[in-house]
């Protein structure tokens, strides 16, 4: 796998077209397939730039609504008491840059393109209180980092010869399914020169996807099958017991 990625990378770098456009980029795979043995994945993001500049890479999962809950002690017991609901937060997020992100571009630009975890925009759902906004925002980032869905910081884009760049992005086993966007940005003196977006699909394949879809689309039949499996297993076990 590693060797193949490297081969693709080298072949890509050797292409003369790479020298023409200001930014050309690709990823080692356009799809992450969640199979029975899936335990996470790692992708190589690579490309070449023309002229000097800073590179930032963002991998963004599908947008989801999210609820952050806060526990407090009620009568000696920890209970969920407060919550905030947000709309449109990426279910997965990774950012990497060739220099510390804050030095690449002004804050407004980073906010606009949501480059860097601190620049992900949090939109409260209608009717949600904006009290303790930062506390809840940080709690979301911290918990997502704990789940491996956010990184809790930025990765490093390594640049070779001021022209070729590469970075690796890891996806944990609990990676959400859906359509991802891999965005690569070229900045020069704080100005955005160009950007490239490549789609990335994360999906369950084979049995896993069939089971999941079946459980949601044919919930009643799925429930009955689960019961039949258990009954047959129990019956078989009973028969084996008797003989033993």
Partner 1 sequence: MQVYLPIAEMSANVFALLALGGAVGFLSGLFGVGGGFLMTPLLIFFGVPSAVAVATGANQVVASSVSGALAHWRHGNVDFKMGLMLLLGGAIGSTVGVSIFTMLRRLGQVDLLIQASYVVFLGAIGAMMVIESARAWLRSRNPSAPRRKLHIHTWVHGLPLKMRFRRSKLYISAIAPVSIGIFAGVMSAIMGVGGGFVMVPAMIYILGMPTSVVIGTSLFQIIFVMANVTFLQAYSNQTVDIVLATILLVGAVIGAQFGTVVGTRLKAEQLRAALGLIVLLVGLRVAWELVATPPDVFSIAPLGLQ
- The residues in 5-34 that bind partner 1, with binding defined as CB under 8 A, are 34
152 touches partner 1 by CB under 8 A: no
65 touches partner 1 by CB under 8 A: yes
Q: How far is the CB of 152 from partner 1 (least distance, A)?
A: 13
237 touches partner 1 by CB under 8 A: yes
Q: How far is the CB of 227 from partner 1 (least distance, A)?
A: 5
Per CB under 8 A, the list member of 8, 124, 139, 164 interacting with partner 1 is: 139
Degrees (nearest 5) of the Cα angle 58, 62, 63? Answer: 100
Q: How far is the CB of 32 from partner 1 (least distance, A)?
A: 12
226 touches partner 1 by CB under 8 A: yes
Alpha carbon of 109 to those of 113, 129, 168: distances in Å?
A: 6, 27, 24
Question: Is the distance from CB of 20 to CB of 191 less than 8 angstroms?
Answer: no
Per CB under 8 A, the list member of 52, 103, 107, 142 interacting with partner 1 is: 142
Q: How far apart are CA 234 and CA 214, in angstroms?
A: 23
Radius of gyration of the chain measured on its C-alpha atoms: 23
Per CB under 8 A, the list member of 20, 35, 121, 156 interacting with partner 1 is: 35
Within 10 angstroms of residue 11's Cβ, the number of other Cβ atoms is 9
Question: Is the distance from CB of 171 to CB of 92 less than 8 angstroms?
Answer: yes
Residue 55's φ and ψ, nearest 5 degrees, are -115, 135
Closer Cβ to partner 1, 6 or 229, answer by number: 229
Q: How far apart are CA 219 and CA 163, in angstroms?
A: 53
Within 10 angstroms of residue 231's Cβ, the number of other Cβ atoms is 10
Q: Which residues bind partner 1 (CB under 8 A)?
A: 34-40, 63-72, 76-80, 83, 87-89, 91, 135-136, 139-140, 142-144, 146-147, 173-174, 176, 204, 207-209, 211-212, 215-216, 219-220, 222-227, 229-231, 233-235, 237-238, 240-242, 244
């Amino acid at each position: 796998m590693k060797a193949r990625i490297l081969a693709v990378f080298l072949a890509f770098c050797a292409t003369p077209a790479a020298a023409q456009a200001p930014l050309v980029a690709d990823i080692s795979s356009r799809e992450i397939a969640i199979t029975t043995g899936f335990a996470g994945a790692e992708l190589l993001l690579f490309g070449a730039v023309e002229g000097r500049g800073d590179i930032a890479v963002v991998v963004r999962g599908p947008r989801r609504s999210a609820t952050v809950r806060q526990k407090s002690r009620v009568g000696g017991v920890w209970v969920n008491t407060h919550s905030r609901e947000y709309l449109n937060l990426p279910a997965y997020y990774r950012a990497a840059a060739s220099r510390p992100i804050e030095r690449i571009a002004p804050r407004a630009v980073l906010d606009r393109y949501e480059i860097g975890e601190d620049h992900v925009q949090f939109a409260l759902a209608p009717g949600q209180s904006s009290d303790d906004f930062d506390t809840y925002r940080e709690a979301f980032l911290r918990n997502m980092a704990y789940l491996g869905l956010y990184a809790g910081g930025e990765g490093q884009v390594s640049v070779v010869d001021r022209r070729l760049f590469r970075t690796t992005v890891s996806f944990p086993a609990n990676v959400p399914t859906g359509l991802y966007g891999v965005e690569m940005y070229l900045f020069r003196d704080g100005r955005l020169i160009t950007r490239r977006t490549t789609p990335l699909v994360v999906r369950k394949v084979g049995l896993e996807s069939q089971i999941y879809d079946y459980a949601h689309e044919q919930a009643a039949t799925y429930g009955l099958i689960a019961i039949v499996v258990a009954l047959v297993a129990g019956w078989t076990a009973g028969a084996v017991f008797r003989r033993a």
